[in-house]
Chain A
Amino acid sequence: MPRAWKFGDDIDTDAIIPGRYLVMNDPEELAKHAFEGTRSQFAGQVEPGDVIVAGSNFGCGSSREHAPLALKGAGVKAVVSRSFARIFFRNSINVGLPLLVCDDVDMIRDGDRLSLDLDRGIIHNLDRLEDYNTTPLPPFLQEIVEAGGLIQYTKRQVGTA
Chain B
Amino acid sequence: MTGQTLSEKIFSRAAKVEARAGQFVMADIDCAMIHDITGPLAVKGFYEISGDDGRVWDASKIVMLFDHQVPADSIKAAENHQMLRRFAGEQGLLNYDVSEGVCHQVMPEKGHVLPGQLVVGSDSHTCTYGALGAFSTGIGSTDMASVLATGRLWFMVPRTLRLIAEGKLPSLVTSKDLVLRMIGDVGADGATYMACEFAGPTVSAMNMAERMTMANMAIEMGGKAGLVEPDDVTLRYIEERAAGQEINPIKGDDDAPCTVRTWEVDDLEPQVALPHNVDRVEPVGRVAGTKIDQVFLGSCTNGRFEDIELACRLMGNEPVARGVRMIVIPASRTEYLKVLRAGLVERLMEAGALVESPCCGPCMGGSFGLLGPGEACLSTSNRNFVGRQGSSEASVYLCSPATAGASAISGVITDPRDIQGR
Contacts and interface: CB of A to CB of B under 8 A. Distances in A.
B133 interface: no
Interface in B183-226: 188-189, 192-193, 219, 222, 224
Contacts of A69: 41
A12 B124 contact: no
Contacts of B219: 61
Nearest to B76: A23
A150 B142 contact: yes
A45 to B, nearest CB: 18
Contacts of B44: 25
A126 interface: no
B387 A154 contact: no
A149 to B, nearest CB: 7
A103 B370 CA distance: 38
Given A20-B365, A25-B44, A37-B392, A154 B140 contact: no
B140 A60 contact: no
B48 interface: yes
Interface in A82-115: 83, 85-87, 90-91, 94-95
A10 B146 contact: no
B386 interface: yes
Nearest to B69: A23
Interface in A142-161: 149-151, 154-155, 157-158, 160
In this complex, the interface size class of chain B, counting residues with CB under 8 Å from chain A, is: 35 or more
A23 B145 CA distance: 18
B392 A151 contact: no
Nearest to B383: A61
Contacts of B189: 10, 56-57, 60, 83, 85
Contacts of B123: 62-63
B24 A57 contact: no
Nearest to A92: B140
Contact of A57 (B138, B140, B188, B392): B188
B366 A20 contact: yes
Interface in A12-45: 12, 14-15, 18-25, 36-38
A27 B135 CA distance: 32
Given A38-B387, A90-B139, A95-B142, A19 B24 contact: no
Interface string B381-422: 001011110011000000000000000000000000000000
B388 A151 contact: no
A69 to B, nearest CB: 8
A5 to B, nearest CB: 17
A124 interface: no
A38 B123 CA distance: 23
Contacts of B49: 151, 154-155, 158, 160
Contact of B188 (A10, A21, A22, A138): A10
Nearest to A62: B124
B120 to A, nearest CB: 10
A131 interface: no
A86 B138 CA distance: 10
A60 B188 contact: yes
Contacts of B143: 90-91, 94, 150
Given A25-B44, A160-B51, A15 B140 contact: no
B77 interface: yes
Contact of A64 (B24, B38, B76, B188): B38
Interface in B142-165: 142-143, 145-146, 149-150, 154
A23 B387 contact: no
A18 B138 contact: no
9 contacts: A22-B364, A23-B74, A57-B222, A64-B37, A65-B38, A91-B141, A91-B142, A150-B143, A151-B145
Given A24-B76, A38-B387, A63-B140, 10 more contacts: A14-B365, A14-B385, A37-B391, A57-B189, A61-B383, A63-B138, A86-B222, A87-B124, A87-B140, A90-B143
Q: Which 4 A-B pairs have the closest CB atoms?
A: A37-B392, A91-B140, A20-B366, A19-B366
